[in-house]
């Protein structure tokens, strides 16, 4: 039976601490429904774009958004199909998580992994290899040098290795492993086995995300792990390869610690970003309490309100700290809006003005 080998490091513990703290804040935030729906949509768009871009998709983020919104985009048909497919994959895994519900045990099956793969490569590869294990040997090469960087296990072993992995996921031993670490292990092992002719990376990330969703780490569907990987794809691939190319006599002797350090750090960074956004959104909820009605503030207005809650006051000299990329006129326009709505007050002249919560 598959038994992952790894060590819980201080770095991993720190990452898990950040993840669980962020999860707590996000889960208990008074998100106004309009904001939550908006952020879920944005997270899905980022996951689709970065999850396919990481594998060579040429669409820009804006073009991917247009495709997802049903608009016509002039691009390679394959790129468009990849984006549509990955959206279907995310819908599929969210549907499973919703159907099972929190706190109920779910058995991961080989059939589920095959269906995720089928959705990933639909209309991209021949139906004979869609949702089916590869039947030939493949190698991974450096796209620039042509040098072989990794040779996966023989095709004949792939079905048995995947079954071994699902048996471990469903075992009692697996239930003792932190959900994020478990997701990282599953991601790595699927990438190592490389069970399909194409679409292995997207399938591995989707199954890892499914595990997190099922075990209470869906974080209200507001985060995109793919964005972290795609921000520095070289780190992503080199970390995977470094573990896979360890010189060991048995595959079970491979030490997954470097990969799990990297994976948990990615989840921690992404969830911390969501936590900070959610904190800013909670300003909107406080605005509602003050005015007796819901008011939607834009990103800059929320940042101003958050700054005033933390620092009690704000002057012109503080503009650059909060908005290094915006002109003073833009910031003053946002301040005027907040003042007109009765949320802040101004003392003093324009140059020496002090802004405070009203």
Domain ranges in the chain are 10-278, 297-357
**How far apart are the C-alpha atoms of 222 and 218, rounded to whole Å?**
8
- pLDDT for residue 281: 74
Residues in the chain: 358
User: What average pLDDT does the chain have?
Assistant: 90
What are the beta bridge partners of residue 313?
A: 356
pLDDT at 33 over 70: yes
- pLDDT for residue 46: 95
Instruction: Quickly state the pLDDT bin for 294 (edges 50, 70, 90).
Output: low
Q: Are 314 and 308 in contact (CB under 8 A)?
A: yes
Reduced to 3 states (helix: H, G, I; strand: E, B; else coil), residue 354 is: strand
pLDDT at 179 over 80: yes
**How far apart are the C-alpha atoms of 193 and 110, rounded to whole Å?**
14
pLDDT at 325 over 70: yes
- pLDDT for residue 103: 65
Please compute the mean of the pLDDT values over residues 341-345 and round it to a whole number. Answer: 88
Highest mean pLDDT out of 60-64, 140-144, 309-313, 348-352: 60-64
pLDDT at 180 over 70: yes
Instruction: Quickly state the pLDDT bin for 68 (edges 50, 70, 90).
Output: very high
> What is the four-CA torsion angle of 218, 221, 222, 226, rounded to 10 degrees?
80
Q: Are 197 and 134 in contact (CB under 8 A)?
A: yes
- pLDDT for residue 255: 97
Share of the chain above pLDDT 70, in %: 95
pLDDT at 236 over 80: yes
Share of the chain above pLDDT 90, in %: 63
CATH code, 297-357: 1.10.10.10
- pLDDT for residue 160: 97
Q: Which of 8-22, 80-94, 176-190, 286-300 has the lowest mean pLDDT?
A: 286-300
CATH code, 10-278: 1.10.3290.10
**At residue 6, what are phi and psi to the nearest 5 degrees?**
-165, 165
Instruction: Quickly state the pLDDT bin for 133 (edges 50, 70, 90).
Output: very high
The token duo for 116 is: 């995720």
Instruction: Quickly state the pLDDT bin for 128 (edges 50, 70, 90).
Output: very high
Please compute the mean of the pLDDT values over residues 321-349 and round it to a whole number. Answer: 89
Greater pLDDT, 65 or 312: 65
- pLDDT for residue 188: 97
pLDDT at 169 over 80: yes
**How far apart are the C-alpha atoms of 196 and 210, rounded to whole Å?**
19
pLDDT at 93 over 90: yes
- pLDDT for residue 204: 97
Q: Are 47 and 225 in contact (CB under 8 A)?
A: yes
Place of tokens 């990452």: 15
The pLDDT tens digits for 239-280 are 999 999 888 877 778 999 999 999 999 999 999 999 988 887
- pLDDT for residue 223: 86
Please compute the mean of the pLDDT values over residues 149-172 and round it to a whole number. Answer: 95
- Report the sign of the C-alpha dihedral through residues 153, 154, 155, 161, in that order: negative
Q: Is 50 an annotated catalytic residue?
A: no
Catalytic entry in 194, 252, 309, 311: 194
- pLDDT for residue 357: 86
Same fold across 10-278 and 297-357: no
- pLDDT for residue 205: 97
Greater pLDDT, 285 or 341: 341
Q: Which of 10-14, 38-42, 62-66, 211-215 has the lowest mean pLDDT?
A: 38-42
- pLDDT for residue 322: 86
- pLDDT for residue 102: 65
């Amino acid at each position: 039976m598959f038994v992952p080998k790894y060590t819980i490091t201080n770095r991993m513990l720190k990452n898990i601490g950040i993840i669980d703290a962020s999860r707590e804040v996000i889960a208990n935030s008074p998100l106004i429904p309009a904001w939550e729906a908006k952020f879920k949509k944005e997270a899905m768009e980022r996951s689709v774009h970065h999850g396919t871009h990481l594998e060579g998709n040429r669409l820009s983020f804006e073009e991917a958004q247009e495709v997802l919104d049903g608009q016509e985009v002039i691009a390679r048909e394959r790129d468009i199909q990849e984006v549509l497919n990955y959206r279907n994959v995310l819908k599929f895994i969210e549907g499973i998580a919703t159907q099972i519900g929190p706190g109920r045990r779910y058995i991961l099956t080989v059939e589920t992994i095959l269906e995720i793969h089928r959705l990933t490569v639909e209309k991209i590869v021949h139906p004979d290899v869609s949702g089916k294990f590869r039947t030939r040997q493949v190698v991974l090469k450096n796209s620039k040098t042509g040098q072989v960087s990794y040779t996966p296990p023989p095709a004949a072993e792939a079905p048995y290795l995947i079954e071994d992995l699902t048996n471990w996921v469903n075992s009692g031993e697996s239930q003792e492993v932190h959900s994020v670490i478990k997701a990282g292990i599953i991601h790595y092992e699927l990438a190592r086995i490389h069970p399909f002719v194409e679409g292995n990376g997207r399938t591995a990330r989707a199954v890892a995300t499914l595990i997190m969703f099922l075990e209470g780490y869906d974080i209200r569907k507001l985060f995109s792990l793919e964005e972290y990987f795609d921000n520095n794809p070289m780190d992503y691939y080199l970390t995977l390869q470094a573990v896979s190319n360890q010189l060991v006599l048995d595959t079970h002797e491979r030490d997954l610690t470097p990969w799990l350090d990297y994976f948990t750090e990615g989840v921690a960074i992404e969830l911390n970003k969501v936590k900070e956004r959610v904190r800013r959104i909670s300003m909107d909820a406080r605005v509602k309490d003050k005015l007796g009605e819901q008011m939607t503030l834009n990103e800059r207005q929320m940042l101003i309100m958050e700054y005033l809650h933390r620092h009690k006051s704000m002057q012109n000299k503080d503009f650059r700290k909060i908005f290094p990329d915006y002109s003073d006129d833009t910031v003053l326009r946002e301040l005027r809006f907040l003042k007109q709505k009765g949320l802040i007050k101004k003392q003093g002249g324009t140059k020496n003005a002090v802004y405070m919560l009203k």
